Chains A and B, each alone.
Chain A
Amino acid sequence: MFKVFDFNCGYNGCFVPLSQTKELLIFSFCLTYVFLFFFKKKCISHQALMIAGIVVMVITLLPQTFLRLAALEERASIYLPMSAVEKRARLFGEPYVFSLQATHLLPGRHSARLVTDINLQEGDGWGINDRLAYYLYPIDIRIHSGTGKEDVLIYFHKDKAVQFLPKDYKIIFKPSDIDLVAARKGAL
């Protein structure tokens, strides 16, 4: 099936693989137009050509709209029955669920340091770091991280996290062996 119309909801827009069909269609349209415009000027006016072009373009809006409706239907069928928390949990997974629990147990503003085995500089690590920073806030893992001013340590996907815990910190929340939230004693 020729895939001429697309509505792939990429986060940056619609990234669609190049298709020869599409290329062929566009070029035959342009060439016909230019040919008729320059070589058949006497029998076909440019007015007729312009209006014909618009009509063809408007006709292509129909399949486009159906695809948009289909995309909306797909999204609605997944997300409409969900609560806001369920939606975020589905979209962001573990970083969101972990952050939600941490912020419940540690209310208010805190300076924290994130300790993890995930490489935050590349691939999915970028996204995980940003999601944690956003959902953990007002527990801030960015501003004072690594400066020694932090009063909270966040261990996320850190193997044997407890072994790395400094003595002056106490565990606040430990959902698994690799995830842990600890606060400096006397700081809370």
Chain B
Amino acid sequence: MMFLGFCFNLFFSTIVAFYLFRPLFVSLGFSMAAIIGLSYFSGLGIVTQIFTTLWIFGIPITFLTVSTILAVLLGAGIINNPLLVQDRTAVSGSNISMAEKFISAAVIIYITINIIIVFMSALSLPVFAWDSITSEAYKAKTVFYTGSLTQLSQAFYPNFPFYTLTAMTWGMFGQGVWDDQYMHLIFALAFLAFTFIFFDVARVITSRLIAYIALLLLFSSNLLIIHSTLSYRDVFMMAHTSICLIGILLWGHKGNDRFIIFSAIFCALSLLTKLEGLPYFPVYLLMILLTGVLYRKTFKNIFNALIRFLCISFIIYFPFQIFKFTVGAGDGGWAAHVVGREGPMMRFAMISERFYNELFLWGNWNILFWPMVMISSLILLVVYRKDKLGVLLLISILFFFSVYWLTFFCTGSFNSIRADWCSISRYFMHFYPLAVLLISRVLFLTYESR
């Protein structure tokens, strides 16, 4: 019964976002499955906003207050958009070739097995990882018992954004008592939701057949599978970062200006999920600029897109900024002191070695994944350099690598390069789906041009 309450709350926030954002998602051409996936992420974002707004106005954060606001939003959404959309994914069987049927069947079996692995692993254990207890579950528990965000300022990492911890508290409100036995479900569902979205996007920028292969490649990461069964923020961060970037690229590719609004929403969600959202923000802005230039958009169009992106993401992020300002939480230790006396060359060598090890030798990815990314990039640059989408995907991946390279080279984060516990792969996972899309895009260009 408790588990049902937990699931009900996750469903409730999803259905509210579904009705509120459906016109936007439909206008962008997403399928019904992808819209449900997007609603899951944005629904939990709405919950975060409600928690923060209630706290700002001094109203207790309880199941009653939060669900009342959600019910009002749901009512507004239903009144505005009463009709369900038709799923555009319906494809008549006669259009699909035998080879495609065989490949899709094999991929669906593979994916089903992996989704079962993820859900069974996620539900088999309560919250147990150190980071999740310290920076999420403990804080979520204080919000659950006190009905306020004030105590977060005195807990560990007061400056950490609280998208995931509000999701945890919201789930627990549904249960009525704090029991973290099924907490990992939130993260497994995020993985499933992202799978729907990713497949839809891959199908838009490649073909149906290659989208299936893209799913295979996505699921080939051990790190992603493991993180979908743990209560770490990184699966959500991966989803928000990738969806934001994909939205920017599709803005150029499809020419629909509403993609900027869509990207801005997910940019704000990435800012609300992890501190890494802040250094990613310039990447998003640069990618809007580059996409606009490459797709030959007018100066006015690019300028409008940038302003719109900045305003929307700032408005969504603003309540959290009020929280941080009120409780006196800073933005973290980006300029922390560097321990050790390594010169620039030594630093360069150490960071290179670490990146190389994490990308190529550790079991976080399929053994051939990053070599395939390199090979795809080579083919793209030599043969298909005129493909704007492929080039932009490659540039965005290089930007993300540069962000981490510069961060490690110039700030105190370099200390973690020396430590065994450093988890750079987790950061790489945030843009890993973009690398999968890059391989898929090159495969599509190759396959189509045969």
Query: Which B residues lie within 8 Å of A56 (CB)?
Result: 368
- Among candidates B120, B145, B363, residue contacting A137 with C-beta atoms closer than 8 Å: B145
Which of A24-61 touch B at CB < 8 Å? 25-26, 29-30, 33-34, 37, 46-47, 49-51, 53-54, 56-58, 60-61
Which label, helix, strand, loop or mixed, suits the secondary structure of the A interface?
A: helix
B219 to chain A minimum Cβ distance, whole angstroms, is 8
Are A13 and B145 in contact (CB-based, < 8 A)?
A: no
Query: Which B residues lie within 8 Å of A88 (CB)?
Result: 126
Are A60 and B366 in contact (CB-based, < 8 A)?
A: yes
Stretch at the interface among A125-133, A161-169, A170-178: A125-133
Stretch at the interface among A15-23, A113-121, A148-156: A15-23
B contacts with A, residue count (CB < 8 A): 68
Are B120 and A72 in contact (CB-based, < 8 A)?
A: yes
Judge whether B138 is part of the interface by a CB distance below 8 angstroms: yes
Are B130 and A126 in contact (CB-based, < 8 A)?
A: yes
- Among candidates B121, B124, B137, B447, residue contacting A134 with C-beta atoms closer than 8 Å: B137
Are B227 and A13 in contact (CB-based, < 8 A)?
A: yes
Query: Which A residues lie within 8 Å of B363 (CB)?
Result: 5-8, 14-16
Are A84 and B126 in contact (CB-based, < 8 A)?
A: yes
Which A residue's beta carbon lies closest to that of B217? A57
Are B110 and A57 in contact (CB-based, < 8 A)?
A: no
- Among candidates A10, A18, A58, residue contacting B361 with C-beta atoms closer than 8 Å: A18
Judge whether B15 is part of the interface by a CB distance below 8 angstroms: no
Are A130 and B133 in contact (CB-based, < 8 A)?
A: yes
Which B residue's beta carbon lies closest to that of A14? B363
Within the assembled complex, what's the spacing in Å between the Cα atoms of A112 and B361?
46
Query: Which B residues lie within 8 Å of A37 (CB)?
Result: 375, 378-379, 382
Which label, helix, strand, loop or mixed, suits the secondary structure of the B interface?
A: helix
Are A51 and B129 in contact (CB-based, < 8 A)?
A: no
Within the assembled complex, what's the spacing in Å between the Cα atoms of A5 and B368?
11
Are A26 and B368 in contact (CB-based, < 8 A)?
A: yes
Which of B399-450 touch A at CB < 8 Å? 421, 423, 425-426, 439, 442-443, 446-447, 449-450
Are B367 and A22 in contact (CB-based, < 8 A)?
A: yes
Which A residue's beta carbon lies closest to that of B227? A13
Judge whether B73 is part of the interface by a CB distance below 8 angstroms: no
Within the assembled complex, what's the spacing in Å between the Cα atoms of A25 and B425?
21
Judge whether A157 is part of the interface by a CB distance below 8 angstroms: no
Within the assembled complex, what's the spacing in Å between the Cα atoms of A58 and B369?
10
B441 to chain A minimum Cβ distance, whole angstroms, is 11
Judge whether A104 is part of the interface by a CB distance below 8 angstroms: no
Query: Which A residues lie within 8 Å of B131 (CB)?
Result: 11
Judge whether A9 is part of the interface by a CB distance below 8 angstroms: yes
Query: Which A residues lie within 8 Å of B357 (CB)?
Result: 18
A71-115 toward B: CB 8 Å interface, digit per residue (1/0)? 110011001100010011001100000000000000001000000
Residue of A7, A11, A25, A92 with highest tally of chain B CB at under 10 A: A11
Query: Which A residues lie within 8 Å of B219 (CB)?
Result: 61
Are B138 and A46 in contact (CB-based, < 8 A)?
A: no
Within the assembled complex, what's the spacing in Å between the Cα atoms of A138 and B138?
10
A134 to chain B minimum Cβ distance, whole angstroms, is 5
Which of B312-338 touch A at CB < 8 Å? none
Query: Which A residues lie within 8 Å of B121 (CB)?
Result: 71-72, 75
Are A91 and B128 in contact (CB-based, < 8 A)?
A: yes
- Among candidates B120, B126, B369, B421, residue contacting A87 with C-beta atoms closer than 8 Å: B126
Are B220 and A64 in contact (CB-based, < 8 A)?
A: yes
Are B443 and A51 in contact (CB-based, < 8 A)?
A: yes
Given contacts A13-B426, A68-B114, contact A130 B225 (CB under 8 A): no
Judge whether B53 is part of the interface by a CB distance below 8 angstroms: no
A167 to chain B minimum Cβ distance, whole angstroms, is 29
Within the assembled complex, what's the spacing in Å between the Cα atoms of A69 and B109?
14
Query: Which B residues lie within 8 Å of A92 (CB)?
Result: 128
Given contacts A46-B383, A80-B124, contact A58 B216 (CB under 8 A): yes
Are A65 and B443 in contact (CB-based, < 8 A)?
A: no
Are B375 and A30 in contact (CB-based, < 8 A)?
A: yes
Which A residue's beta carbon lies closest to that of B129? A11
Judge whether B301 is part of the interface by a CB distance below 8 angstroms: no
- Among candidates B117, B124, B223, residue contacting A14 with C-beta atoms closer than 8 Å: B223
Which A residue's beta carbon lies closest to that of B145? A138
Query: Which A residues lie within 8 Å of B145 (CB)?
Result: 109, 137-138
Are A46 and B379 in contact (CB-based, < 8 A)?
A: yes
Given contacts A56-B368, A79-B125, A84-B179, contact A133 B446 (CB under 8 A): no
Are B110 and A53 in contact (CB-based, < 8 A)?
A: no
B130 to chain A minimum Cβ distance, whole angstroms, is 6
Judge whether B55 is part of the interface by a CB distance below 8 angstroms: no
Query: Which B residues lie within 8 Å of A72 (CB)?
Result: 117, 120-121
Within the assembled complex, what's the spacing in Å between the Cα atoms of A29 and B367?
11
- Not counting A15-B362, A26-B368, A138-B145, a sample of 6 additional A-B residue pairs whose C-beta atoms are within 8 angstroms of each other reads A8-B363, A25-B367, A26-B367, A33-B371, A57-B366, A61-B216
Q: Which residues of B contact A (CB under 8 A)?
A: 110, 113-114, 117, 120-121, 124-126, 128-131, 133-134, 137-138, 141-142, 145-146, 151, 154-156, 179, 181, 213, 216-217, 219-220, 222-223, 225-227, 230, 357, 360-364, 366-369, 371-372, 374-376, 378-379, 382-383, 421, 423, 425-426, 439, 442-443, 446-447, 449-450
Residue contacts A-B, CB under 8 angstroms, 13 given:
A4-B367, A11-B130, A11-B230, A46-B383, A47-B446, A49-B375, A50-B446, A64-B220, A68-B225, A69-B117, A87-B126, A91-B125, A137-B138
